[in-house]
């Protein structure tokens, strides 16, 4: 059983990139619809987190719950077609609601709808990640939800707990908070067992911990403790700490800061280190030979640009792993390439071009100038700066006097 060590639990105020999951039962009242007062209070928490310098993404349930209220579908299990219709009606209202509560604080929101295929298909995964990275870098708060309007059972996450964990890992978040109808993880269902004990901190998700999970009881949300544990396993393996806390109070994130009851699941390392381990375990599908200038740039924490590539070998698609070689042919590391092999050959040695007039360049996707983004590399035989995606490239040494 996991030990309780509240003094070493993560602090939400330390989060640099924070993902918050909001459940349907918190956001939508079955009789009256959207809980606007609660949502307005949550907006203040988002403002406060961004004021601390954190980038924030919200994974929000509620489109089906909101849409079924608008359509008068009532309680009970919906058919697939009814659920998709409810999602279509509810999603537009949900996105507008977030915009209305955050815009007065000068915060821009964006709607991001995903399906399971967006994480299992490499190209779609990379596109989703690039979009999320760009939005967060611009100070936007993405509002993420599963695309229930088109998703079928075969391509569904099934609940937003696991979706939130996947989003957290995708964007390299260091903290994920699941706002729930319970105030943490218990040894048994506290609504059924008065002797149930809440865990303040779970360092390792053991088989004993997994056996304690129960089923959802709210009637609106799908995610029970089983799905929350699945989310926790995904998050912590990706270097992201995860908290489960009661979300129905006004300003639940502020309550968490103030010491509200919660359970933290401890991250296994940091997000970037976890990503590097993942990339380093991949088998390269090709090789990129670099010039000395590119090696120096990588060592200084830069991305790999086409101009620094002197030779491309192998057959690979966009997002697949390649080996990174120095001018002498020594392997420096691995990275996820942003072009196909044919495109990489076309643009190798060329500086970034805004024009597609050149026939040799016309076939390449030149909206993405880096061949390998600095966060998409992993350690090799030579250790360099941790701040670079190609962290195995040595940083340049100062000149000797």
Q: What's the pLDDT at 152?
A: 61
Per-residue model confidence as pLDDT tens digits over 118-151: 776 777 877 888 899 999 999 999 999 988 777 6
Domains, in order of start, for the chain: 6-269 (3.40.1160.10), 276-378 (2.30.130.10)
Q: What's the pLDDT at 1?
A: 46
pTM over 0.85: no
- CA 178/CA 200 separation, integer angstroms: 15
Q: What's the pLDDT at 124?
A: 80
Cβ neighbors of 370 (< 8 A, separation 6 or more) are 303, 304, 305, 338
Q: What's the pLDDT at 6?
A: 47
Per-residue model confidence as pLDDT tens digits over 177-229: 999 988 999 998 888 888 989 999 999 998 889 888 855 444 444 447 888 99
Q: Considering only CA atoms, which of 246, 274, 275, 280 is closest in space to residue 260?
A: 246
Q: Considering only CA atoms, which of 172, 379, 125, 374 is closest in space to residue 277?
A: 379
Give the DSSP per-residue string, 261-316: SEEEEPPSS-HHHHHHHHHHTSPPSEEEEE-HHHHHHHHTTPPBPGGGEEEEEE--
Q: What's the pLDDT at 103?
A: 98
- CA 276/CA 335 separation, integer angstroms: 9
- CA 234/CA 242 separation, integer angstroms: 10
- CA 157/CA 146 separation, integer angstroms: 8
**CB burial of residue 231 (10 Å; 0-12, 13-18, 19+):** buried
Q: What's the pLDDT at 89?
A: 93
Q: Which residues of the chain have pLDDT under 50?
A: 1-6, 154-155, 216-223, 354-367, 379, 381-401
- List strands edge to edge, sheet with 17-22: 109-114, 141-146, 55-60, 17-22, 175-180, 241-246, 262-265, 201-202
- CA 207/CA 27 separation, integer angstroms: 33
Element (H, E) at 45: helix 36-51
Q: What's the pLDDT at 375?
A: 66
Question: By the 8 A CB rule, do 6 and 44 touch?
Answer: no
């Amino acid at each position: 059983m996991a030990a309780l060590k509240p003094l070493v639990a993560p602090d939400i105020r330390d989060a640099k990139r924070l993902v918050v999951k909001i459940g349907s039962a918190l956001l939508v009242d079955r009789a009256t619809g959207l809980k606007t007062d609660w949502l307005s209070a949550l907006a203040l928490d988002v403002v406060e987190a961004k004021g601390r310098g954190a980038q924030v993404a919200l994974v929000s349930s509620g489109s089906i719950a909101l849409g079924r209220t608008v359509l008068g579908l009532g309680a009970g299990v919906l058919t697939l077609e009814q659920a998709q219709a409810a999602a279509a009606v509810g999603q537009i209202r949900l996105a507008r609601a977030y915009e209305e509560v955050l815009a007065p604080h000068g915060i821009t929101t964006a709607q991001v709808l995903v399906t399971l295929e967006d994480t299992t298909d490499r190209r779609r995964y990379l596109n989703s990640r690039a979009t999320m990275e760009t939005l967060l870098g611009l100070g936007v708060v993405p509002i993420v939800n599963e695309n229930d309007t088109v998703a079928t059972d075969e391509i569904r996450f099934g609940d937003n707990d696991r979706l939130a964990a996947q989003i957290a890992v995708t964007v390299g978040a260091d903290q994920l908070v699941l706002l729930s109808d319970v105030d943490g993880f218990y040894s048994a269902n506290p609504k059924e067992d008065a002797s149930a004990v809440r865990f303040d901190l779970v360092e390792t998700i053991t088989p004993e911990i997994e056996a304690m999970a129960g089923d959802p009881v709210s009637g609106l949300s799908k995610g029970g403790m089983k799905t929350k544990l699945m989310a926790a396993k995904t998050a912590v393996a990706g270097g992201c700490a995860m908290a489960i806390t009661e979300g129905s109070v006004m300003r639940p994130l502020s309550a968490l800061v103030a010491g509200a009851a919660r359970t933290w699941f401890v991250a296994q390392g940091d997000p970037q280190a976890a990503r590097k381990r993942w990339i380093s375990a991949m088998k390269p599908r090709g090789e990129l030979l670099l010039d000395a200038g590119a090696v120096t740039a990588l060592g200084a924490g830069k991305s790999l640009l086409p101009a620094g590539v002197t030779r491309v070998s192998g057959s690979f698609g966009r997002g697949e792993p390649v080996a990174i070689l120095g001018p002498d042919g020594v392997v420096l590391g691995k990275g996820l390439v942003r072009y196909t092999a044919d495109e990489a050959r076309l643009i190798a040695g060329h500086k970034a071009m805004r024009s597609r007039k050149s026939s040799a360049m016309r076939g390449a996707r030149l909206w993405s100038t880096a061949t390998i983004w600095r966060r998409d590399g992993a350690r090799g035989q030579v250790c360099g700066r941790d701040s670079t995606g190609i962290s195995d490239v040595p940083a340049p040494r100062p000149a000797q006097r």
